[in-house]
């Protein structure tokens, strides 16, 4: 077969544009493709919701690839292991209640299984703002990451969603935008972001599930963003809470939207 370069280009542009147009309206938009965002996307897609994830970087997976200090292993507790099992990620017991998995296998499998469940991932896109209407958050304001990185003065585009998840990790970037735009109106102790506390795995993991919440109408937090918003500790390379938080936020949204 003789290859036509233009046909290859057309296939890429047409395929991409078709999907981008399709996802201008969706049930759930997820910001950030770390473990919590991917897990949320998997469960939401599996429940039949139309869900897309927007990730700033080229690679999906956030802070999970590198394990702890580049030792590419992750640790999960029993509940996290159940989720790894469901994804088909292998792990081995370490001590009672501790399980160790390969971070590369875990990250790539989460990404692959979430896509196959129906999650649409747009990488290289940065969320720079949100749409705020009377009923709460109604969508995201997006730009190419390359525009952001180059500091170009180029206006963004918008997508509409019934619910938005901030899974942007330690920086809780979506909630930060909301706080900046509307002031102390968040569903926290004083309406503001409480800020992440220093590393304490035990307390951080326990608080994370409690902190996986709707922080403003139609805006949910999951993963490390939850502890940053609600003022709980970070927890380093233990990832069970991230997976459970992703599943929890999906359950909350499925309950609300269905
Ligand atoms: O940081 P990240 O992995 O978030 P997570 O799911 O998991 C946290 C753990 O990796 C680890 C930990 C375990 O105890 O503490 O840190 O909470 O992934 C967040 C993703 O969001 C992307 C970012 O590039 C990363 O891949 N991101 C951040 N801001 C934006 C964004 C933005 N404005 N637009 C799009 N993506």
Please report whether residue 229 resides in a domain: yes
Q: What is the CATH number of the domain that holds 40?
A: 3.50.50.60
Give me the residues paired with residue 236 across strands. none
When divided into structural domains, the chain yields a total of: 1
Ligand 1 centroid vs 124 CA: distance in angstroms? 14
What is the crossing angle of helices 103-117 and 35-46, to 10°? 30
Q: Which atom of ligand 1 is nearest to the CA of 236?
A: 14
pLDDT of residue 168: 99
Q: How confident is the model at residue 123 (pLDDT cuts 50, 70, 90)?
A: very high
Asked whether residue 153 is marked as a ligand-binding residue, the answer is yes
pLDDT of residue 158: 98
**What is the overall mean pLDDT for the chain?**
98
Please report whether residue 13 resides in a domain: no
User: Mean pLDDT across the stretch 83-111?
Assistant: 98
Please report whether residue 17 resides in a domain: no
Distance CA 46, CA 48 (A): 5
Q: How confident is the model at residue 26 (pLDDT cuts 50, 70, 90)?
A: very high
Q: CB count, 10 Å around CB of 158?
A: 13
**Domain of residue 241, residue span:** 25-69+104-257
Angle at 192 between CA 187 and CA 197, to 5 degrees: 105
Please report whether residue 83 resides in a domain: no
pLDDT of residue 86: 98
Please report whether residue 8 resides in a domain: no
Backbone phi, psi, residue 249, to 5°: -65, -35
Distance CA 30, CA 258 (A): 18
Please report whether residue 168 resides in a domain: yes
Please report whether residue 91 resides in a domain: no
User: Mean pLDDT across the stretch 238-255?
Assistant: 98
Do the Cβ atoms of 50 and 220 come closer than 8 Å?
A: no
Please report whether residue 203 resides in a domain: yes
Asked whether residue 155 is marked as a ligand-binding residue, the answer is yes
Residue count of the chain, please give it. Answer: 258
pLDDT of residue 258: 80
Structure tokens at 254: 């499925």
Whether pLDDT at 233 is above 90: yes
Whether pLDDT at 255 is above 90: yes
Q: Which atom of ligand 1 is nearest to the CA of 223?
A: 17
Asked whether residue 63 is marked as a ligand-binding residue, the answer is yes
Which residue from 12, 13, 60 is spatially nearest to 39, judged by alpha carbons? 60
Instruction: Give 42: exposed, middle or buried? Use CB within 10 Å, 0-12, 13-18, 19+.
Output: buried
For 31-86, what is the HEC assignment? ECCCHHHHHHHHHHHHCCCCEEEEECCCCCCHHHCCCECCECEEEECHHHHHHHHH
Structure tokens at 141: 């304001």
Ligand 1 centroid vs 196 CA: distance in angstroms? 14
Ligand 1 centroid vs 1 CA: distance in angstroms? 43
The pocket around ligand 1, CB under 6 angstroms, is made up of 31-37, 54-57, 62-64, 126-127, 167-169, 171, 173, 223-225, 234-236, 238-239, 242
User: Mean pLDDT across the stretch 81-105?
Assistant: 98
Ligand 1 centroid vs 37 CA: distance in angstroms? 8
Q: What is the pLDDT of residues 165-221, one digit of tens each?
A: 999 999 999 999 999 999 999 999 999 999 999 999 999 999 999 999 999 999 999
Contacts of 40 (CB under 8 A, 6+ apart): 30, 165, 167, 222, 246, 247, 249, 250
Share of the chain above pLDDT 90, in %: 100
């Amino acid at each position: 077969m003789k290859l036509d370069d233009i046909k290859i280009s057309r296939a890429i542009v047409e395929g991409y544009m078709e999907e981008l147009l399709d996802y201008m309206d969706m049930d759930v938009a997820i910001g950030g493709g770390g473990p919590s965002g991917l897990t949320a996307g998997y469960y939401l897609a599996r429940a039949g919701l139309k869900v897309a994830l927007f990730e700033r970087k080229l690679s999906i997976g956030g802070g999970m690839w590198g394990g702890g200090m580049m030792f590419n292993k992750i640790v999960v507790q029993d509940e996290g292991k159940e989720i790894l099992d469901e994804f088909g990620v292998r792990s081995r017991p370490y001590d009672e209640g501790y399980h160790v998995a390969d971070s590369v296998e875990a990250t790539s499998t989460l990404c692959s299984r979430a896509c196959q469940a129906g999650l649409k991932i747009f990488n290289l896109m940065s969320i720079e703002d949100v749409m705020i209407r009377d009923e709460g958050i109604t969508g995201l304001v997006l730009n190419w990451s390359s525009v952001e990185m180059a500091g170009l003065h180029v206006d963004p585009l918008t997508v509409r969603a019934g619910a938005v998840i901030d899974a942007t990790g330690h920086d809780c970037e979506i909630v930060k935008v909301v706080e900046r735009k509307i002031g102390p109106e968040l569903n926290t102790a004083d309406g503001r972001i409480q800020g992440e506390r220093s590393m304490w795995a035990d307390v951080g993991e326990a608080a994370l599930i409690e902190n996986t919440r709707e922080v403003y109408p139609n805006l949910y937090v999951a993963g490390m963003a939850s502890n940053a918003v609600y003022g709980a500790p970070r927890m380093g390379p233990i990832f069970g809470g991230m997976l459970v938080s992703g599943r929890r936020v999906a359950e909350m949204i499925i309950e609300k939207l269905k």
